[in-house]
Amino acid sequence: MAPACHQNDGMIDVIGTDAGAPGSLPAAQQELIRAADRVAAPKRLQTALRQWLGSDHPELISSDDPRALATCLKALPSTAAVVVLASGDPLWFGIGRSLSDRLGGERLRFHPAPTALQLAFARIGRPWQDASWVSLHGRDPDVLAPLLQKRPAALAVLTDPQQGGAETVRRILRSSGLEASYSLWLCENLGHASERVQQLNGGDPFPQDLAPLLTVLLIAEPSAPPSPDHLPLFGLEDGLFLQQEDHPGLMTKREVRIQLLADLDLPQTGVLWDLGAGTGSVGLEALRLRPDLKLLAVEQRAGGAQLIKANAQRLGVNAAAVLETEISALITHGLPAGLEQPDRVVLGGGGRHRAALLKQVLTLLKPGGVVLIPLATLEALAELRPLLELHELTVQVSQLQAWRGQPLSDGTRLAPMNPTLLLKGTKSHP
Domain with CATH 3.40.50.150 in the chain: 228-426
Q: CA-to-CA distance for 334 and 353, rounded, in angstroms?
A: 19
Q: In this predicted structure, what is the pLDDT of residue 4?
A: 35
Q: Which pLDDT tens digit goes with each residue over 76-111?
A: 888 889 999 998 899 988 899 999 999 998 889 999
CATH class in words for 228-426? alpha beta
Facing residues of 215 across strands? 158, 187
Give CA–CA dist 44/260, Å, rounded: 58
Report strand pairing: 196-200 vs 182-188: antiparallel
How far, CA to CA in Å, does 6 sit from each of 1, 30, 38, 238, 357? 10, 13, 15, 61, 74
pLDDT at 5 exceeding the cut of 60: no
Residue 222 or 426, more confident: 426
pTM beyond 0.75, yes or no: no
Fold of 12-113: Cobalt-precorrin-4 Transmethylase; domain 1 (3.40.1010)
Output the DSSP codes for 131-143: EEEEE-TTS-GGG
Parts of the chain belonging to CATH 3.40.1010.10: 12-113
Rounded Cα–Cα distance for residues 184 and 82 (Å): 41
Instruction: Output 26 or 405, whichever has higher pLDDT.
Output: 26
Amino acid at 80: A
Reported confidence tier of residue 226, pLDDT bands at 50, 70, 90: confident
Whether 83 contacts 30, CB under 8 Å: no
**pLDDT band of 8, cuts 50, 70, 90:** low
What does the mean pLDDT of the chain come to? 89
pLDDT of residue 350: 65
H/E segment holding residue 169: helix 165-175
Q: In angstroms, rounded to a whole number, what is the distance separating the alpha carbons of residues 200 and 184? A: 6
pLDDT digit string, tens, across residues 36-84: 999 999 988 888 899 898 887 788 999 999 999 999 999 988 888 999 9
pLDDT at 126 over 90: yes
Other C-beta atoms closer than 10 Å to the C-beta of 183 total 15
Residue 6: pLDDT band (50, 70, 90) is very low
Please state which of the ranges 1-5, 265-269, 327-331 shows the lowest mean pLDDT.
Answer: 1-5
- According to the model, what pLDDT value does residue 282 have? 96
Longest dimension (CA), the chain: 100
Q: Which residue has the higher pLDDT, 292 or 138?
A: 292
Q: Which of 84, 90, 349 is nearest to 358 (CA)?
A: 349
The residues pairing with 134 across neighbouring beta strands, listed in sequence order, are 157
pLDDT digits 0-9 by tens, 352-409: 789 999 999 999 999 999 999 999 999 999 999 999 999 999 999 999 999 888 766 6
Model confidence pLDDT, tens digit, residues 148-171: 877 888 999 998 888 778 888 998
Reported CATH class of domain 117-220: alpha beta
**In DSSP terms, which residues pair with 395 in a beta bridge?**
425
pLDDT at 162: 80
Sequence-separated (6 or more) residues with CB below 8 Å from residue 244: 250, 278, 279, 301, 303, 304, 307
